[in-house]
Amino acid sequence: MLHDYPPLHAASAKDLPYRFEDLDASMEAAGLDAIVATSKHNVRYLLGGYQFIFFSAMDAIGQSRYLPAFVYIRGESGKTCYLANKMEGHEHSVMPFWVPQFRPDHWGSVDTMQAAADHLQKCGVASGRIGFEPGFMPKDGFDAIADALPQARFADASMVLTRLRMIKTKPELDLLREATARISASMQATIQAAGEGTSKFAIIERLRQEETRRELAFEYCLLTLGNSHNRAGSSQTWKRGEVMSIDSGGNLHGYIGDICRMGVLGEPDAELSDLLAEVEAVQQAAFGEIAPGKTGAEMIAAGEAELRRGPNSAHNDFFAHGMGLISHEAPFLMTNHPVAYEGIDAGTPFQPGMVLSVETTMQHPTRGYIKLEDTVILTKDGHEVFGAADRGWIVRDVG
């Protein structure tokens, strides 16, 4: 039976996963007078866990799109405004939000941003420096707010909001732990349900069903079989003695678990045991450097040093990144590896509450894609690996 993990919901400001003082300090350092957040993940976080279910999997409606907007004035949390879709009044009547001003009056990007401009004018920051999220602001919406506030200066607030989310609270960590456990159980069930002749398409669909059955929102499945390194779905089938690499993200109330585990059809031979042990050794070397006060650079150096010692180092790769509401967020540890951003946090000491994804991949020329990916959190005494069970070969008996 699944534990009941209701969505996070902040009925008052004291229930938020962040402090206004921290947000104000970050905004002051960035020279921002106000922020207009429009990404689903940041709006959800700033509201304290709420997301409108109608638009959870889509944005487009009519001739425009859903654009939730959270407007925050530095140092004046009492003027915070949430600009919502008209249907969100039903949610508010059942579970009121903490925001002092809730305005469910909008259907598209233009009217939402016109309302945001109106609120900023009333708050006296029409000529201030306004932070926004360029990657999550449609052009017609930006044009609307810029035209309405011709004296304002606009600046990218993405990093301010990303850093605000970097240290997770206990409720957030509990959701990440549970999401990871449910993904692990879904992978076990999927591997045991597959067999000789099962296609990649069927395996991916089975994992989707297993994660959905465990009340996760299925995000993706990257799957390889046999000696192929191609992780896309296809009609390729699993054969006796072949490996399966199954990498998936599942979302529990906004928080993403992300792990990779290895299956094999029949007992693994000695070579496969050695190959996975080589990958595991890199993971363990990295884990040994994950503790408060240590840095990402130290963790990466330990993992890469162990990788170079292995006999298959030419085929191996080590990677680590932050996790939480999105699959790559602060701390940013490695530069363009593979996602395009700078590893600006590599030298910053780890702190309790940070969440990392640590992954080692071997693309063996004859045995295939062998990978372990783990979700690791920083604790006050060291670290905890989520979903630590079943990190060896998961054997599907051939009977």
**83 closest CA partner among 59, 111, 55:** 111
Express each pLDDT in 101-139 by its tens digit.
999 999 999 999 999 999 999 999 999 999 999 999 999
Tell me the mean pLDDT in the region 234-240: 98
Contact 271, 311 (CB under 8 A): no
Summarised one tens digit per residue, pLDDT across range 305-316 is: 999 999 999 999
Residue written as token pair 């063996």: 364
pLDDT of residue 191: 98
On whether residue 6 sits in a domain, the answer given is no
Q: Is residue 263 part of a domain?
A: yes
Among 143, 164, 185, give the residue marking a domain's end. Answer: 164
Collapse the DSSP code of 7 into the 3-class scheme (helix H, G, I; strand E, B; otherwise coil) and give the result.
Answer: coil
Residues 177 and 96 in one domain: no
Task: Show the CA angle centred on residue 245, arms to residues 239 and 247, nearest 5°.
Answer: 140
Number of other CB atoms surrounding residue 289 within 10 Å: 18
Burial of 297 (0-12, 13-18, 19+ CB in 10 A): middle
Q: Do residues 129 and 31 lie in contact, with contact meaning Cβ atoms separated by under 8 Å?
A: yes
Contact, 40 vs 46, CB < 8 A? no
- If asked whether residues 203 and 147 sit together in one domain, one would say no
Q: Is residue 282 part of a domain?
A: yes
Last residue within a domain, chosen from 109, 135, 164: 164
pLDDT tens track for 55-112: 988 999 999 999 999 999 999 999 999 999 999 999 889 888 899 999 999 999 999 9
pLDDT of residue 389: 83
User: Cβ(303)–Cβ(360) under 8 Å?
Assistant: yes
The answer to whether the bond into 338 is cis (omega within 30° of 0) is yes
Of 164, 193, 212, the residue that ends a domain is 164
d(CA 258, CA 17): 21
pLDDT beyond 70 at 1: no
Query: Does the bond joining 7 to the residue before it have cis omega, within 30 degrees of 0?
Result: no
Same domain? For 287 and 322 the reply is: yes
Q: Is residue 4 part of a domain?
A: no
How many domains are contained in the chain?
2
Q: Residue 112 belongs to a domain with what CATH number? A: 3.40.350.10
Q: What is the pLDDT of residue 390?
A: 87
Whole-number Cα distances in Å, 194 to 166, 191, 381: 38, 5, 40
User: Within a domain: residue 7?
Assistant: no
Q: Are residues 160 and 174 in the same domain?
A: no
**For residue 116, is it left (φ>0), alpha (ψ between -120 and 50) or beta?**
alpha
Closest by CA to 376, choosing from 395, 350, 342, is 350
What mean pLDDT comes out for the span 350-363? 98
Contact 263, 198 (CB under 8 A): no
Both tokens of 95, joined, read 């579970």
Cα separation of the two ends of the chain: 29
Question: What residue type is assigned to position 19 of the chain?
Answer: R
82: helix, strand or coil:
strand
Q: What is the CATH number of the domain that holds 203?
A: 3.90.230.10
Residue 46 counted as domain residue:
yes
In this structure, the answer to whether residues 184 and 268 fall within a common structural domain is yes
pLDDT, residue 4, reads 65
| Same structural domain, 144 and 90 | yes
Q: Is the same domain home to 116 and 264? A: no
Integer Cα distance of 243 and 272 in angstroms: 9
Query: Cα(366)–Cα(361) distance, rounded to whole angstroms?
Result: 15
**pLDDT band, residue 9 (cuts 50/70/90):** confident
When the pLDDT of each residue in the chain is averaged and rounded to a whole number, the result is 95
Residue 31 sits in the same domain as residue 98: yes
Report pLDDT for 70: 98
Are residues 195 and 250 part of one domain? yes
Q: Residue 2's pLDDT is what?
A: 56
Outline where the chain has alpha helix (H).
20-30, 40-47, 89-94, 109-122, 139-148, 158-164, 170-193, 200-213, 270-287, 296-309
Q: Report CA 42 to chain centroid distance, whole Å.
A: 12
Residues 233 and 319 in one domain: yes
The torsion of the CA quartet 129, 134, 139, 145, rounded to 10 degrees, works out to -20
Assign 321 a pLDDT band (cuts: 50, 70, 90).
very high
Tokens 């940013």 map to which residue? 332
Q: Which of 1-10, 279-288, 368-377 has the lowest mean pLDDT?
A: 1-10
Contact 32, 72 (CB under 8 A): no
CA 142 – CA 112 distance, rounded (Å): 10
Q: Rounded CA gap, 199 and 238, in Å?
A: 6
Higher pLDDT, 359 or 2: 359
* Inside any domain, residue 5: no
**Residue 131 shares a structural domain with residue 230:** no
What helix, strand, coil percent values describe the chain, rounded to 5?
Answer: 35, 25, 40
Neighbours of 132 (CB within 10 A): 25
351 or 53: whose pLDDT is higher?
Answer: 351
pLDDT of residue 3: 58
Whether 34 is in a domain gets the answer yes
Residue 383: domain span: 170-396
Tokens of residue 111, six digits: 């009217």
Whether residue 268 sits in one domain with residue 233:
yes
Report residue 8's pLDDT band, with 50, 70 and 90 as the boundaries: confident
Taking only the tens place, the pLDDT of each residue in 182-220 is 999 999 999 999 999 999 999 999 999 999 999 999 999
d(CA 101, CA 54): 21
